[in-house]
A and B are shown apart, each in its own frame.
Chain A
Amino acid sequence: MEYYLGVLQTIGIHALLGLSAYLLLLTGQLSLAQVGFFAIGSYVSGMLTVMVGWHIAPALMVGAIMAGFFAFLVGFPALRVKGLMLVVATIAFSEIVRLFFFNLNWRVQVDGLEVGPDSTQGFREIRYFAANGWEQSHVVVLIWSILALVMILLWWLDRVRAGAVLRAVGEDELAAQSSGVNLMMVKVAAMTAGGIIAGIAGGLFAHSSTYVDHHSFSILLATFAISYPILGGLRNVFGTLVAVIFIQGFIIEGLRFIGDYRNILFGLLIIAAMNFRPQGLVDGNFRSDLAKLLGLKPNGGSNDA
Chain B
Amino acid sequence: MLRLNNLVKHFGGVRAVDGVQIEVSKGEVLGLIGPNGSGKSTMVNLICGVFPQTAGSIELDNIDLGTKPPHERIDAGVSRTFQNIRLFDDLTVWQNLWVAWRDAPETEVSWLSDWFGSSTDRRVEIEKLLDFSGLGDRSNYKAKNLSFGEQRRLELARAMASKPKLIVLDEPAAGMNSEEVRDLRIRILTMKDLGMTVLLVEHVMELVMNVTDRIVVLNFGKKIAEGTPTEIQNNPLVQEAYFGFATNSGGSD
Question: Do the two chains belong together in a single complex?
Answer: yes
Residues from chain A with Cβ under 8 Å of B116 in the complex: 160-162
Structural contact, A179 and B140, CB atoms closer than 8 A: no
Binds B, one of A45-53, A63-71, A143-151, A164-172: A164-172
Given A179-B79, A180-B71 in contact, is the A174-B50 Cβ separation under 8 Å? yes
Q: Tell whether B15 is near chain A: CB-to-CB under 8 Å.
A: no
A174-207 contacts to B, CB under 8 A, are: 174-183
Which listed residue (B48, B79, B98, B145) contacts A303, Cβ 8 A? B145
Structural contact, A182 and B90, CB atoms closer than 8 A: no
List 19 extra interface pairs beyond A178-B50, A179-B99, A304-B142, CB under 8 A: A160-B116, A161-B98, A161-B115, A167-B91, A167-B95, A171-B90, A172-B86, A174-B70, A174-B86, A177-B70, A178-B80, A179-B79, A180-B70, A180-B74, A180-B100, A180-B162, A303-B140, A303-B141, A305-B92
The 8 closest A-B pairs by CB, nearest first: A180-B74, A179-B100, A175-B86, A164-B95, A177-B70, A168-B99, A171-B88, A178-B70
Q: Tell whether B89 is near chain A: CB-to-CB under 8 Å.
A: yes
Binding site for A on B (CB under 8 A): 48, 50, 69-71, 74-75, 79-80, 82, 86-92, 95-96, 98-102, 114-118, 140-142, 145, 158, 161-162
Min CB gap A91→B, angstroms: 28
Q: Give the CA-CA distance A302 to B92 in the complex, in Å.
A: 13
Structural contact, B71 and A181, CB atoms closer than 8 A: yes
Q: Give the CA-CA distance A161 to B98 in the complex, in Å.
A: 7
Q: Give the CA-CA distance A178 to B140 in the complex, in Å.
A: 23
Residues from chain A with Cβ under 8 Å of B115 in the complex: 160-162, 165
Residues from chain B with Cβ under 8 Å of A174 in the complex: 50, 70, 86
Residues from chain A with Cβ under 8 Å of B101 in the complex: 161
Q: Give the CA-CA distance A302 to B144 in the complex, in Å.
A: 12
Min CB gap A173→B, angstroms: 10
Instruction: Name the residue among A168, A181, A304, A305 with the largest chain B CB count within 10 angstroms.
Output: A168
* 27 CB < 8 A contacts A-B: A160-B117, A160-B118, A161-B114, A161-B115, A161-B116, A162-B115, A162-B116, A165-B99, A165-B115, A168-B95, A168-B99, A171-B90, A172-B87, A172-B88, A177-B69, A177-B70, A178-B70, A178-B71, A178-B82, A179-B79, A179-B100, A179-B162, A182-B71, A183-B71, A302-B145, A303-B145, A305-B92
Min CB gap A79→B, angstroms: 12
Structural contact, B87 and A175, CB atoms closer than 8 A: yes
Min CB gap B214→A, angstroms: 25
Structural contact, B71 and A171, CB atoms closer than 8 A: no
Residues from chain A with Cβ under 8 Å of B82 in the complex: 175, 178
Which listed residue (A161, A171, A305) contacts B89, Cβ 8 A? A171
Which listed residue (A161, A284, A303, A304) contacts B99, Cβ 8 A? A161
A89-137 contacts to B, CB under 8 A, are: none
Residues from chain A with Cβ under 8 Å of B50 in the complex: 174, 178
Given A164-B98, A303-B141, A303-B142 in contact, is the A177-B86 Cβ separation under 8 Å? no
Residues from chain B with Cβ under 8 Å of A182 in the complex: 71
Produce 1/0 per residue, A274-305, CB < 8 A to B. Answer: 00000000001000000000000000001111
Structural contact, B140 and A305, CB atoms closer than 8 A: yes
Residues from chain B with Cβ under 8 Å of A177 in the complex: 69-71
Residues from chain A with Cβ under 8 Å of B48 in the complex: 178
Q: Give the CA-CA distance A41 to B237 in the complex, in Å.
A: 69
Residues from chain A with Cβ under 8 Å of B89 in the complex: 171
Residues from chain A with Cβ under 8 Å of B140 in the complex: 303-305
